[in-house]
Each structure stands twice: as structure tokens, then as C-alpha cells.
Chains A and B, each alone.
Chain A
């Protein structure tokens, strides 16, 4: 996973229906970029049959000390 460029951000905000000009797109790219960088080691590595609801299963499991 790579951080989106300002050009890509502009395209995404256009598609979302909340267009951003070039300056705002650049600011968004810089703001959100570190989150993409931080998550990069995980992105694309998750097993096929993993659902978001697995969180609730782990949360509800009795965990011994």
C-alpha cells in the first residue's frame, strides 16, 4: 500500500462528491500519508477468510491471565 499522491487524492475527492482543489488535495495527501505508511506492513497480507467481525469474537473470548 502506498500513500496517495495529491493527484490521486483529487480524483478520489471528485468521485466522493466533495471536490478538493489542488492545494487542499496536497494538504490531504500530506496529512493522511503517514497512516498509509504506518499500515503498509499489514496491507495486502491478511488471509482470505478474515472478516471484520473476527474482532468481536476475540473481544468476547475469555482470556486467561
Chain B
């Protein structure tokens, strides 16, 4: 066991607390110690609640001593993206507009984790209203990448990626509407699961696009993500769009071999115009999966550019509709880039939006037909490693939308199709920046992705690397 509890995986630390090898107090203090060291460099936390966290840890230890274990995450301290409502707590959504917003209810995803015994370390930074892939936030400052603090974390779950990578929290909720879990996972070197639309209830999660929004975890390992998904997934009377499909044993799925599985690699789009180091790491990932017994096959996918365009039409329209009242009443309280992108949605005719929505079914059917015979598709999360904060700080300038579209080129088609995708750390560039690969699965088949991801992580150690304080 590591001498520093905060460095353990979620599964390992939960077991250690349950077996009384570590107390929740020791674990929480270890996290708070690292937060104190790293927060001035990273700006990953929106709020740090040290005293409350230690009090909750002491209460968890006392309960466990009496034999009262709440659940599998009893006494495990976590922090989440600051868009999950928790009754009585300020939830800023990374914005000025909601700087003082205190919800009366708790989000279903968060409540299910609390019911499993987690305690709260604070809340994590994010892009304003989750509308941006870089990690910039004009109101609360950019979040920094722990591997290179002058590089971006990716967004919009910027604090989640940064804090998990630096081992300030064992896991964190993010949200993925256009790539907002997978981009930070890719840039920060952590594992991130974008779930199937409807797999986890969105009740009490700040909305951005009702058709595309998904809730999911970022953590050290695929096994950690499996544990969290199993706790959060399932029907919810508070969210009629949440699926009523049964919830498999995702942790059990991570134990399986991938021998004989077929993994598709696209012949185009996801392999075009890659940074040479991303291309190298894609090749190395393919080799590692082959070595574990998977069969790699080429797949010819339908035109993914059309999916990206359709995604943009849906996302921009729905985001503008959610924000219209504040765009009229409080335009000055938005950051320039977020306001610019919200304004884009005003210029999309209703017929165009509905055409993009009507095409979703046939587009998904065409994709599934193209990947028949495979268990998952492997692709880079992004074409480049994390850019610097300076070079990606494009505000609402003329190149802003082009920069955003380039970063999210490989994530948006998956959002449009509502598919699950697991981003796993797959290597490092020569300058020490992490690079992630995504495994794209069929609707509601997260178990397959977690199985492949876990097998890849048993064969590699990229997920176990920890950034050092400079």
C-alpha cells in the first residue's frame, strides 16, 4: 500500500477504509494535504471545505466502528464538477450568473454516490455553463494541467481532469455534451467515461443540451469508473429520459480477458491530420491491444463530418434556448466566448434543428451497420496533445469557433449518436504531455468498453503515472 493514501485508486482506497486498514480521516487528510500543495498551481477547486470534510470523515469512521457501513464508498472523499446540485450548497456552474445559486434539491447522480457513503471535499472548477472544450474561464481563471501548468486541461470538466490527475480527489463527476469528459481525460492523463445518453439520470445536473447531455466519471482507472457507473446508473422517477434498462455488474466486466475480441480502427477521419505523437501513440495502443489477444480490424465509417455538423446544430440551438432569458436580461454577465457561442444558436432555423434531430436515428443505424462484427472502435480522443493556455485563449475572436471545432473533432460524432465512449491514458509525448485514446461502443454497452479499458490498463501503466510538483 502506498504511504500516501491520496495516490491510491478509488477501488483500493474504498477497500482499505472498509477493511479498516485506513481511516476516512487519514484518507481525507491526505487529499487535503495534496489540495493545499497543488491548488495554487492548478486552480482546480472552486471551493475547498476542509473542516466539513474532516468532520464528515470522523463521522464516517465512528459509524464504521459501530458496524454502520453506508455503502461501498463509505468514507471516501470526493469532489465533483460544480454543476451537480446539492441542496444547501452553492453551485456556480462556473458562471457569474449562478455565483450565488443554492439549489433546494440534490442531483440524482450525486445523491446515489452519497448514499454509497462518499463525503464531500468541495467543488471543482469548470468552463462557464460547461460550454467550451479548453478549460478557460474568464470569471474564475483558467484551470491548469498538472503535467505542464502552462497547458490547458481541456474542458468543460476542467477541474475534474486536473484534480483527478494530481490525485486531489479519487474520482470526480464530469459531464459530456460535446467531449467534456473525454477532452480533460485525454489532456490530463486520466480515465473518463462518457456514458450512453440516458444511462445515468440527469436530474439536478445543470443542462446544456437536453438531447446530448450525459453524466459520467473521471477517475484513475477503468475499474474505478465501473464502480461509479454501477452506483449511478438506472431508472429515476425524477428524470423520465433515464433508461429503465437493467444495470449490469460493471466491475465484474472489468475482470474479463479481451482475447478474441474485435476492435475496429477507422480507415479515415479519426486517423486524418493527427499530430505525429498522437499517431505514434495510436499505433502503440493498437499493438498493446493485439498483444492482449484482441483482433484489430479496419472499419469504414459513414461520413463523420456530417455527424459533427449535426451535433453543432443541435447543441447550439438547445443551449441558446436554455439561456435565452439570461441572454436578454444579463448578457454582460457572460464571458465573451460563451456568449458568442450561445448567440450562434439563435441563427439556426427550427426546421434545420429538427432535421438534425430527425436524422439521428438513421445516422445511428448507419454507424451500427458499419461496425457490425466489432466489439468496439478505437480512435484518438483528439488530434493533438494539450495546447498551451496562451495559444488556445482565443476568446470570441474570429478563429474561436475553428479552434473549438478542431479540438472536438473526434468527440462530437459520438455525442450526436449518443454512444458510450471510454477515454484511457495511452501514452506521453516527448515533452511529457499525456495522450488519451477513446473506445467507442454500442448504445448501453459500457461494460464492453470497461472490459477493454481495464485489460489495457493491466498491460500498461500510463494511468498510474502521477505528475510531480515542479
Assess the A58–B365 pair: CB atoms within 8 A.
yes
CB distance from B416 to the nearest CB of A (A): 10
User: Does B432 have its Cβ within 8 Å of any Cβ on chain A?
Assistant: no
* A contact residues, total (Cβ < 8 Å): 42
Chain B 321-338 interface residues, beta-carbon cutoff 8 Å to A: 324, 327-328
Residues of A within 8 A of B344 (CB): 28, 31-32
Nearest A residue (CB) for B444: A59
Nearest A residue (CB) for B361: A54
- The main secondary structure of chain B at its interface with chain A is helix
Q: A28-B347, A29-B347 are in contact. Are A46 and B355 (CB under 8 A)?
A: yes
User: Does B443 have its Cβ within 8 Å of any Cβ on chain A?
Assistant: yes
Residues of B within 8 A of A17 (CB): 324, 328
Residues of B within 8 A of A51 (CB): 358
Q: A32-B347, A58-B365 are in contact. Are A42 and B306 (CB under 8 A)?
A: yes
User: Does A13 have its Cβ within 8 Å of any Cβ on chain B?
Assistant: yes
CB distance from A6 to the nearest CB of B (A): 10
Assess the B372–A13 pair: CB atoms within 8 A.
no
Residues of A within 8 A of B340 (CB): 27-28, 31
Give Cα A50–Cα B365 distance, bound, in whole angstroms. 13
User: Does B349 have its Cβ within 8 Å of any Cβ on chain A?
Assistant: yes
Give Cα A51–Cα B355 distance, bound, in whole angstroms. 9
CB distance from A21 to the nearest CB of B (A): 11
Assess the A41–B358 pair: CB atoms within 8 A.
no
Q: A42-B310, A51-B358, A65-B374 are in contact. Are A1 and B347 (CB under 8 A)?
A: no
Residues of A within 8 A of B401 (CB): 30-32, 34
Assess the A58–B373 pair: CB atoms within 8 A.
no
Q: Chain B 243-256, CB within 8 Å of chain A: the 1/0 string?
A: 00000000000000
Chain A 14-65 interface residues, beta-carbon cutoff 8 Å to B: 16-18, 20, 24, 27-32, 34-39, 41-44, 46, 50-60, 63-65
Give Cα A16–Cα B365 distance, bound, in whole angstroms. 34
Residues of B within 8 A of A28 (CB): 340, 343-344, 346-347
Give Cα A62–Cα B303 distance, bound, in whole angstroms. 24
Nearest B residue (CB) for A14: B346
Nearest A residue (CB) for B375: A65
- Among A1, A24, A52, which residue has its beta carbon within 8 angstroms of that of B343? A24
Residues of A within 8 A of B105 (CB): none
User: Does B305 have its Cβ within 8 Å of any Cβ on chain A?
Assistant: yes
Residues of B within 8 A of A64 (CB): 372
Assess the B309–A59 pair: CB atoms within 8 A.
no
Assess the B197–A38 pair: CB atoms within 8 A.
no
Give Cα A9–Cα B401 distance, bound, in whole angstroms. 17
CB distance from B269 to the nearest CB of A (A): 12
Assess the A57–B398 pair: CB atoms within 8 A.
no
Chain B 69-119 interface residues, beta-carbon cutoff 8 Å to A: none
Give Cα A64–Cα B162 distance, bound, in whole angstroms. 38
CB distance from B5 to the nearest CB of A (A): 41
Residues of B within 8 A of A39 (CB): 306, 309-310, 313, 352, 355-356
Assess the B418–A34 pair: CB atoms within 8 A.
no
- Among A4, A50, A58, which residue has its beta carbon within 8 angstroms of that of B364? A58
* Chain A CB within 10 A, most for which of B197, B198, B313: B313
Residues of B within 8 A of A60 (CB): 443
Give Cα A41–Cα B347 distance, bound, in whole angstroms. 19
Assess the B443–A59 pair: CB atoms within 8 A.
yes
Q: A32-B347, A32-B348 are in contact. Are A54 and B324 (CB under 8 A)?
A: no
User: Does B354 have its Cβ within 8 Å of any Cβ on chain A?
Assistant: yes
Residues of A within 8 A of B313 (CB): 35-36, 39
- Among A24, A38, A52, which residue has its beta carbon within 8 angstroms of that of B357? A52
CB distance from B4 to the nearest CB of A (A): 43
Assess the B316–A35 pair: CB atoms within 8 A.
yes
Q: Chain B 420-451, CB within 8 Å of chain A: the 1/0 string?
A: 00000000000000000000001110000000
User: Does B396 have its Cβ within 8 Å of any Cβ on chain A?
Assistant: yes
Assess the A30–B316 pair: CB atoms within 8 A.
no
Q: Chain B 392-429, CB within 8 Å of chain A: the 1/0 string?
A: 00001010110001000000000000100000000000
Residues of B within 8 A of A58 (CB): 361-362, 364-365, 368
Chain B 141-166 interface residues, beta-carbon cutoff 8 Å to A: none
Can you name 10 A-B residue pairings with CB atoms under 8 Å? A1-B352, A16-B346, A24-B343, A28-B346, A29-B347, A30-B398, A31-B401, A32-B316, A34-B312, A38-B305
Q: Which 8 A-B pairs have the closest CB atoms?
A: A38-B309, A54-B361, A55-B360, A35-B312, A31-B401, A52-B357, A39-B309, A55-B361
